Structure 1
Amino acid sequence: MIIDFTEIAQNNPSFRAYGGANGIKKGILFQGQPYMLKIEHRGKKKNRDYKHSVLSEYISSKIYSMLDIPAQEVILGKIYDNGKEKLCVACRDFKEKGEYLYEFLNIKNSVLTENSSNGSGTELAEILEAIDKQNFCPAHEVKERFWEMFVVDAYLGNFDRHNGNWGFLVNENTGVKQLAPVFDCGSCLYPAPTDEQLQSFLNDPEEIKKRVYVFPNSIIEENGKKINYHELLQSTLNEDCLQAVKKIIPKIEEKSPEIRDFINSIEVLSPVRKQFYTQILQMRRELILQPALVRADNLTKNA
């Protein structure tokens, strides 16, 4: 069911403001709870269309929840803006009273040494070092979440899981600190291509394979180069990553029929987009994740 948020956006503002680079964002109250409304729009750059990032946000957040990883609650909707009907996704603001969201970017800034890059730097070794040095949550819990996100993002083709879109919730009244739910998934599932481009990928086996093996890469870097998901999962000896592979990929295997049925049930998705999403997820699962699981099992058996 698609919710019409037009009157809600006009009459029930939450008076909360939201940053970030992609899309128009409004703070609303829906059923007594604060939500951030992300609305499709066309950017200033030619062909920069955020319509499909709304769909990516909705679908990918739901997939994270299906895999039992805490994620923001999302509702798919529409809104009439400037006389046009637009897609939107309502993302529940998960900050409770007295809670603050501290993005990992800020945490990394607080533990940097003079030889480090700044908080936005995405070199893998620096990220893992900052996780070890921070004192918000136990380092093993943070590493577990980091690598679980990495594996799921490898499945979803996320090209922008940077240090500003994951982090910690801190209640300054009670002192309770915890990992925030996964949020900001609008860069998953190839949001840029049009339906016509997706159809051309589906018609060309070499082009669709490029969307598995070549791009998107992770925004996280090793030695200044963006990490290729397939290559890292076929080469890493990082024990925390291997454990995430062994934990998360069987869940993806188990849930893949449910994920496929969920995508096919979304009424605003065009037939070609449904076909592309289901096919690319199957290919990324079979060609990236399944070999990674076999490798991780073999390495840990021989350890």
Structure 2
Amino acid sequence: MMLEILHDFSMFPLRVSRYDGAAGKQTMYIGDQRYMVKFGYTVDEQQQRSSRTSYANIPVNEFLGSRIFQASGIPTQEVMLGTYGEHSVAACRDFMQQYPSSYQLLHFKQLEISMPGESSLSKARPDWEFVRHVMTDSPYLSTLRSQVFDRYYKMVCVDALIGNYDRHSNNWGFIADSDTNIVALAPVYDCGSCLAPHLSEDAMRDRLADPRLMRQANMDAPYMSMNVRNKRRKFNYFLLSDEGKPFRAQLINLHDCLTPQVLDEIVMSVPGISDIRRDFYRTTLHTRREVVWKPAFELALQEREHTLKQSEPLRSPTRRHKKHIR
């Protein structure tokens, strides 16, 4: 995979944001194509820590996370990396533009609050039990229920690989028509909170110099943006849990899609980053594949083998065996 172009978007006027969310966003048109532009931002001094930088390069992480999702085979937003003036930006093509203007993006959160008598169970950090209940029982998902489960299982697995700590109910969803009938799953979007976006280059250098620190840091963090049994869990814990069984089953295919070679090619294609960052992203992905994915992948293989053995029909005794039976 070749090094991609670092675009200069400064010539294109910005417009007021059409998009929600916490990060800085504006609308931009290139010709007749609409983009959501995400900006890096300065971290408030009170929120800075010794291991953090004063500038969060969310655009690079948005680009990397989206490229890795694309390589997994999951439909994902198109992202270009570039600059706007002195700012690092990610230009995310607005996938809603391909639909009639009356169509809309519905976040999963909107399904949660549409459950009769259960809207109070919808939280900023969702509970897996409630998420599963909504996906199972929401009447608005009747035409694509199996696709929703399949997408969610895979999405969480890829988030585990890239360390995305912010996949809550407001950043994945569906395409709805003018009557708010859900007609399709939306592409994956909002991947910027992955691969430790606030970490300073000094902290990256420390992890690269100490493999044990790199390994421990990726086992300890991040936590998922989801509660399981009323507690926020680490990805490696969740994927090995009973609740994680249908998720880790997806690793059998994803493991072959996102090989170390594929991940290296994606990282090497990122334009405009330092060698330290490039090495950090590569090593982090290799480490997370080893300490987060691998144990769950091996357990999934064992479970599949056990299921296959249980499903094998009992063989009728051969003539030779019948002789011994007599």
Give the structure-2-normalised TM-score.
0.84
Query: Are the structure 2 counterparts of residues 63 and 115 from structure 1 closer, same or farther at C-alpha, using a change threshold of 3 Å?
Result: closer
Deviation at 1:33, TM superposition (A): 0.9
Deviation at 1:265, TM superposition (A): 3.1
Q: Partners in 2 of 1:109 and 1:50 — Cα distance?
A: 35
Q: Could you say what the CA RMSD is over the residues aligned between the two structures, in angstroms?
A: 2.1
Q: Could you tell me which residue of structure 2 aligns to residue 229 of structure 1?
A: 235
Of the three residues 127, 133, 141, the one matched with 1:129 is: 133
The answer to whether structure 1 residue 25 and structure 2 residue 30 are counterparts is: no
Q: Could you tell me which residue of structure 2 aligns to residue 210 of structure 1?
A: 216
Query: Are the structure 2 counterparts of residues 291 and 3 from structure 1 closer, same or farther at C-alpha, using a change threshold of 3 Å?
Result: same
Asked whether the equivalents of residues 81 and 91 of structure 2 are also in contact (C-alpha less than 8 Å), the reply is yes
Of the three residues 268, 275, 282, the one matched with 1:271 is: 275
Give the structure-1-normalised TM-score.
0.90
**5+ long unaligned stretches in structure 1:** none
The answer to whether structure 1 residue 99 and structure 2 residue 100 are counterparts is: no
Q: Partners in 1 of 2:120 and 2:180 — Cα distance?
A: 32
Q: Partners in 2 of 1:49 and 1:247 — Cα distance?
A: 39
* Identical-residue share of aligned pairs (%): 27
Deviation at 1:246, TM superposition (A): 2.1
Q: Could you tell me which residue of structure 2 aligns to residue 77 of structure 1?
A: 82
Q: Partners in 2 of 1:175 and 1:251 — Cα distance?
A: 33
Of the three residues 176, 192, 203, the one matched with 1:186 is: 192
The answer to whether structure 1 residue 56 and structure 2 residue 56 are counterparts is: no
Q: Could you tell me which residue of structure 2 aligns to residue 90 of structure 1?
A: 91
Which of 1 and 2 has greater Rg?
Answer: 2
Q: Could you tell me which residue of structure 1 aligns to residue 121 of structure 2?
A: 117
Q: Partners in 1 of 2:61 and 2:293 — Cα distance?
A: 20
Query: Are the structure 2 counterparts of residues 45 and 223 from structure 1 closer, same or farther at C-alpha, using a change threshold of 3 Å?
Result: farther
Query: Are the structure 2 counterparts of residues 36 and 247 from structure 1 closer, same or farther at C-alpha, using a change threshold of 3 Å?
Result: same
Higher relative contact order (CA 8 A, sep 6+): 2
Q: Partners in 2 of 1:203 and 1:145 — Cα distance?
A: 37
Deviation at 1:41, TM superposition (A): 1.9
Q: Could you tell me which residue of structure 1 aligns to residue 44 of structure 2?
A: 44
Q: Partners in 2 of 1:271 and 1:216 — Cα distance?
A: 24
Query: Are the structure 2 counterparts of residues 5 and 180 from structure 1 closer, same or farther at C-alpha, using a change threshold of 3 Å?
Result: same
Q: Partners in 1 of 2:45 and 2:111 — Cα distance?
A: 32
SS of alignment partner, residue 218 of structure 1: strand
SS of alignment partner, residue 227 of structure 1: strand
Asked whether the equivalents of residues 116 and 126 of structure 1 are also in contact (C-alpha less than 8 Å), the reply is no
Query: Are the structure 2 counterparts of residues 299 and 214 from structure 1 closer, same or farther at C-alpha, using a change threshold of 3 Å?
Result: same
Query: Are the structure 2 counterparts of residues 181 and 192 from structure 1 closer, same or farther at C-alpha, using a change threshold of 3 Å?
Result: same
Q: Partners in 2 of 1:176 and 1:166 — Cα distance?
A: 14
1:204-246 deviation per Cα after TM superposition (whole angstroms, max 9, x unaligned): 2332122221100111111221121111222235553243222
Q: Could you tell me which residue of structure 2 aligns to residue 197 of structure 1?
A: 203
Deviation at 1:292, TM superposition (A): 1.3
Deviation at 1:119, TM superposition (A): 4.8
Q: Partners in 1 of 2:116 and 2:90 — Cα distance?
A: 36
The answer to whether structure 1 residue 67 and structure 2 residue 72 are counterparts is: yes
Deviation at 1:154, TM superposition (A): 0.6
The one-letter amino acid of 2:147's match is E
Deviation at 1:49, TM superposition (A): 4.6
Asked whether the equivalents of residues 107 and 119 of structure 1 are also in contact (C-alpha less than 8 Å), the reply is no
1:233-267 deviation per Cα after TM superposition (whole angstroms, max 9, x unaligned): 222355532432223222112xx313212312323
**5+ long unaligned stretches in structure 2:** 308-326
Q: Could you tell me which residue of structure 2 aligns to residue 144 of structure 1?
A: 150
More displaced 10-residue stretch of structure 1: 240-249 or 30-39: 240-249
Asked whether the equivalents of residues 136 and 178 of structure 1 are also in contact (C-alpha less than 8 Å), the reply is no
More displaced 10-residue stretch of structure 1: 55-64 or 223-232: 223-232
1:22-79 deviation per Cα after TM superposition (whole angstroms, max 9, x unaligned): 2x21101113211001111214354375542111101110111111100101011101
Q: Partners in 1 of 2:197 and 2:182 — Cα distance?
A: 36
Asked whether the equivalents of residues 238 and 244 of structure 2 are also in contact (C-alpha less than 8 Å), the reply is no
Q: Could you tell me which residue of structure 1 aligns to residue 298 of structure 2?
A: 294
